[in-house]
Structure 1
């Protein structure tokens, strides 16, 4: 009974504390152009007198609990005690509700007493109507409300933008205003953009102005913030504004202007004198100038990383400037700063270039640290366009191939099926199979990779080809096992089918396999052939995939076309392809009963052409040509079936 009363009084105490908690600020970590649609409650603190009253009240209630706990009236009836407790509970609830009303009244009076408080309240009432989304407001009415809000706020807009509630009003006004009015708002806020950028609430308005503003407005904002970017990058709120400005709204020239500011105060103050200047040219004049620029860049990078801004693209751009001019000592210092958050570099083009350069120039110990930092991000790393380039650089730079396979192997094996059919995920493994083949790596990417290979020559000891072969010998069995278990699914994808072709029609792969893995290779080849068994008139038959025909042609011919040399290159190490595969494929997949169907089907006719060329004048092809002669006269000549027409021309040329 007594414990129930005490619990009730404790609940009353908690309700007061909960009311305080409800008045605390909730703050978004990132800037969004839709922030005006979110609620941001202003922190409200009780006055010291109010808090004192609450504490005295609670002390009295605690004393009452202690007196009741002493049991001075234990001999009285239980029913009397229950009545007393109910009265106490009711009284406590009434007192708590009264205090809440008093707090709300005090809060309202405090807001009204502020500068422009009544005006802000009037503006907010109009804003509540303007921001309604559930029932779209007619354009005429919305424009009318916008005009009313503007008339009330235009003379005091600079006082409104830093308040959490009034700032959201201005954000909505920017969103629904005309171009001319947005220009007026920008003009009215000139001189305060830095203050807005560093304000917990004003930064959202600044991003709204960048998003909805004209090119002229953006240039005005950039010009005013010029000279403050290095300071803003070290500010918790300002860093997000600079990042959004760089990534989303700045032109190429404006981006270069922003980055040059990180070089030092000289380039911030005399920006017009350095337009179009690159960091390499700036450092040509003297060693001292290079040292100063590198020191300024490293200082900004180090401070920003400590603030948690490692993933920002503008910071990656600053890092790229530094690695272009950094000496070995500065590279080592940069790796020391970045090796833990290294995974945050790989999602941007600038960050990827920095990561690849650091990997290429790092020593063995530093590469080990980088590998450890990337270990838990394997899947995201390899599937990312820029992350795949970083992982590929790791493959051809790191001497410790055992460490690379041990670190990344388990995750790669788990997601191998996804990687083999992924646009970016398959690229590092294609490098292992065919090096930097122009079929998969465009000239720009190849130039970049060759640059990293050259940089790694000073830090890597093993020959380039040896590293690739060591890794290929470790990964090739995993490729084969994945293909064996998922051949139908992988063949259904053009990218996957292409990967299978490069895996199987490859002398290096077969030569590097152990004996047991060579048997696995044969199982994969047999399984691929079986996949094509069945009625080719069915829509889901794999022969209807154009890339499947090319795969079969390569397996049947036992080689592939070298586009660079413009010649066919037959395999020399793989015994189960070429004539051997052609014979088995005809005996087990195609026979006299459906040979004519394969020829008359436009999708499969080129496969028969490949069989014809591969088995011509070979003893293994006796059955094929015997069956072919029987149905030769039934072949349909149709302009749409180019494979059948080609086959008939070959028959005529060979007099068969």
Structure 2
């Protein structure tokens, strides 16, 4: 019974003992068995194992890659061309050798990640004849190469180095495949690069593939005035419009679902789509783009237009998603060439000022000094200090804010039957004129037409803001500027960095608006002490004599002297109930009183002369005697009669 408790190893040992010969009767050794006895196993050294492994890898690569040996030679030659101090002639010889070895095998070898880089280097440094040969060999395979992880870089390099004829040939390869390639993660950057290199007519041909397969065949597509889809549809029947919209929806939907929204050609297609879409289709697009996708689009002009459209058309939930999607990127968007327009739209129409303050304003305040002197960042701040001032904002930005949304097209059949609905959606200067929308809506309902959407939200704002929000623009601006603490921090930055900002091309505009007290005297009402401190700081700067001749004085510098002149010309006393003095009064008493003769020349002469036309009558009277003395001495020119009755500044 005990054998059942033996382990496996013990059982094996017992069996071997039973099978072994009895003691004293050992089995004789056969000479043949001893002759074939195997040598004992010898473990390989680390170096031998490594060598064996490399040989095995090389053998497998030779079987798997038909051009493996050539690839090794190409890579070896390419490494020599990468040396920093290689001679130009030597590099040309090496490049020629590489191309000679790859001739006839380029499409297959281009799929290798290292050979792909070598071929790009050859295209960059080879002769025009060699480049043309590479182009001819790779061109038939470009569509396949675009989809490869490494080879698509060669196609981009070919586009960069192509002449006009070669570029046209490359673009012709894309025709019929643009939408499909844009859905591919590796091919989409190639299509985008080709689109940026194309001229206007070629861009329109690429873009037309979003519309429908037949759209490129329409006559008159490239005629003057028909580059936009809305202009082209003006003379087309409703059936054709519906067909194009359906095709565009099917083409754009997978691209948006995959999140491939970084390319300008897609932004252009979406803008054209929104320009002819119905309200319901626009709402669906806004719902899809709200959030993180929109942040990736605002770096282009069309992408910024889409962002403004989403802000203007989105409901409260969608606007909240848009703002939250910008978290951590606000300062970068504010400095972007086009992204700042989306931030301006948010500050202009979003009623949830607590959310805007928490995300947008707080992130702006972290980099307030840099933004105040930035070409585009300052515009976000200026929109709160001086909204819609043509001096600061480009005409196209003002037009986008005045007409924030693409023209919404109702159901085509309904529009043809009820023309009054088109009148109901007519917008002028960013708002509906004189209640025409309500009257048209009533008429449309009386004739059986559809009821317009969100009728209560289309009231005209008091200061011309877009009619897409309910809160009074002045109240919203006050909450974002003063209640958030932005104005206080901005005034302090202006005071501490007054000289730097006055001498700056863009910062001088911010310091001017802060010193003037903001729109409707908002800053005077909330923090008069900070405004007075800023006035005193600017005046003190004018009293300091420069120690370095190269350092420009604020009275004479190119940007600061016109700003000081504007501050004096437009200076007015503080609003009623606010204790303080105008800038012109402070500047005269601190910087110019009994010192005008010193500055009655050069750029500073215009600063002194501004007191003759100052809006603050008290400051004008205080400076009158001394100014007249300079005029009598011939140091200042007398004011022309035409300028005494008023002057545009």
Instruction: Identify whether the pair has TM-score above 0.5, normalized to the shorter chain.
Output: yes
In 2: Cα distance, 1:236 partner to 1:152 partner: 31
Aligned to 1:99: 49
> Counterparts in 2 of 1:110-149, with a 5 A limit?
110-113=60-63, 114-129=65-80, 131-139=81-89, 141-149=90-98
User: 2:609 aligned with 1:609, yes or no?
Assistant: yes
Query: What is the CA distance between 1:157 and its match in structure 2?
Result: 2.9
CA distance in 2, matches of 1:328, 1:359: 14
1:145-184 residue pairs with structure 2 within 5 A? Answer: 145-184=94-133
| Residue 262 (structure 1) aligned with residue 214 (structure 2) | no
Counterpart position of 1:444: 396
2:511 is the alignment partner of 1:500:
yes
Once the two structures are TM-superposed, the CA of residue 197 in structure 1 deviates from its matched residue by 0.5
Q: Is the 8 A contact 1:348 1:386 kept in 2?
A: yes
Does residue 1:433 correspond to 2:385, yes or no?
yes
| 3-state SS, counterpart of residue 452 of structure 1 | coil
Aligned to 1:290: 241
Write the distance in 1 (CA, Å) between the matches of 2:627 and 2:364.
46
Q: Which residue of 1 aligns with 2:295?
A: 343
- Matching residue of 2:11: none
**Equivalent residue number for residue 31 of structure 1:** none
Q: Distance in 2 between matches of 1:100 and 1:185?
A: 39
Partner deviation per Cα, 1:541-562 (whole Å, 9 max, x = no partner): 3222244333333443444xxx
Say if 1:443 and 1:582 are closer, same or farther in 2 by CA, change over 3 A.
closer
Is the Cα–Cα contact under 8 Å of residues 61 and 68 in structure 2 kept in the other structure?
A: yes
SS across alignment from 1:386: coil
> What is the alpha-carbon distance in structure 2 between the residues aligned to residue 291 and residue 386 of structure 1?
32
Q: How many residue pairs end up in the alignment?
A: 534
Mapped contact 1:401–1:467 kept (Cα < 8 A): no
Q: Does 1:518 align with 2:528?
A: yes
Deviations 1:325-348 (A, max 9, x none): 222221222122211221111110
1:474-485 equivalences under 5 Å are 474=479, 475=481, 477-478=487-488, 479-485=490-496
Residues 100, 541 of structure 1: alpha-carbon distance in 2 compared, 3 angstrom cutoff: same
Residue 222 (1) aligns with residue 233 (2): no
* Deviation for aligned residue 1:628: 7.2
CA distances 1:175-200 after superposition (whole Å, capped 9, x unpaired): 22222332222222343111100112
Question: Which segments of 5 or more consecutive residues in structure 2 lack a partner in the other structure?
Answer: 1-41, 406-426, 433-453, 464-470, 645-649
* CA–CA distance in structure 2, aligned partners of residues 202 and 513 of structure 1: 59
Give the 3 Å change call, closer, same or farther, for CA 281–649 of structure 1 in structure 2: closer
More helix by share: 1
Q: Counterparts of 1:503 and 1:138 in 2: how far apart (Å)?
A: 58
1:66-90 superposed Cα distances (whole Å, 9 cap, x missing partner):
xxxxxxxxxxxxxxxxxxxxxxxxx
The 5-angstrom pairing of residues 116-515 of structure 1 reads: 116-129=67-80, 131-139=81-89, 141-247=90-196, 249-267=197-215, 270=217, 274-275=221-222, 278-281=228-231, 283=233, 285-340=236-291, 341-452=293-404, 454=427, 459=457, 463-465=461-463, 467-474=472-479, 475=481, 477-478=487-488, 479-505=490-516, 508-510=519-521, 512-513=522-523, 515=525
| CA distance in structure 2 between the partners assigned to 1:574 and 1:604 by the alignment | 32
| 2:418 match | none
Rounded to whole Å, the distance in 1 between the matches of 2:88 and 2:399 is: 57
Superposition pairs of residues 45-124 of structure 1, within 5 angstroms: 94-113=44-63, 114-124=65-75
Q: Residue 526 of structure 1: CA displacement?
A: 3.0
Partners of 2:340 and 2:377 within 8 A in 1: yes
Q: Distance in 1 between matches of 2:619 and 2:341?
A: 48
Match of 2:588 in 1: 586
Q: Is the 8 A contact 1:557 1:577 kept in 2?
A: no
Contact 2:524/2:531 (8 A) holds in 1: no
Deviation digits for residues 316-370 of structure 1, max 9, x if unmatched?
1221121112222212221222112211111101111111122222223222221
3-state secondary structure, aligned to 1:463: coil
Q: Distance in 1 between matches of 2:124 and 2:328?
A: 41
Deviation at 1:584, TM superposition (A): 4.0
SS class of match (2:85): coil
**What is the TM-score with the length of structure 2 in the denominator?**
0.72
Q: Residue 140 of structure 2 aligns to a residue in which SS?
A: coil
- Cα RMSD of the aligned pairs, angstroms, is 3.7
Q: Distance in 2 between matches of 1:482 and 1:173?
A: 53
Deviations along 1:442-483, one digit per CA (max 9) or x if unpaired, are 333333332217578765557252743224323153343442
Deviation at 1:407, TM superposition (A): 3.2
What is the CA-CA distance between 1:518 and the residue it aligns to?
A: 3.0
Pairwise CA distance, 1:516: 4.7
- Paired position in structure 1 for 2:637: 646
Deviation at 1:203, TM superposition (A): 1.0
Mapped to 1, the partners of 2:209 and 2:561 lie a distance apart of 56
- Cα distance in 2 for partners of 1:109, 1:619 equals 93
Residue aligning to 1:51? none
Q: CA deviation at 1:619?
A: 9.8
Whether contact under 8 Å (1:544, 1:604) holds in the other structure is yes
d(CA) in 2 for partners of 1:275 and 1:159?
A: 39
Contact 1:579 1:614 in 2 (8 A): no
CA gap 1:351/1:464 in 2 versus in 1, 3 angstroms: farther
Counterpart residue number, 1:32: none
1:606 aligned counterpart, secondary structure: helix
Residue segments in structure 1 that go unaligned for 5+ positions in a row: 1-90, 560-569, 638-643
Post-superposition CA distance 1:32-63 (Å, at most 9, x none): xxxxxxxxxxxxxxxxxxxxxxxxxxxxxxxx
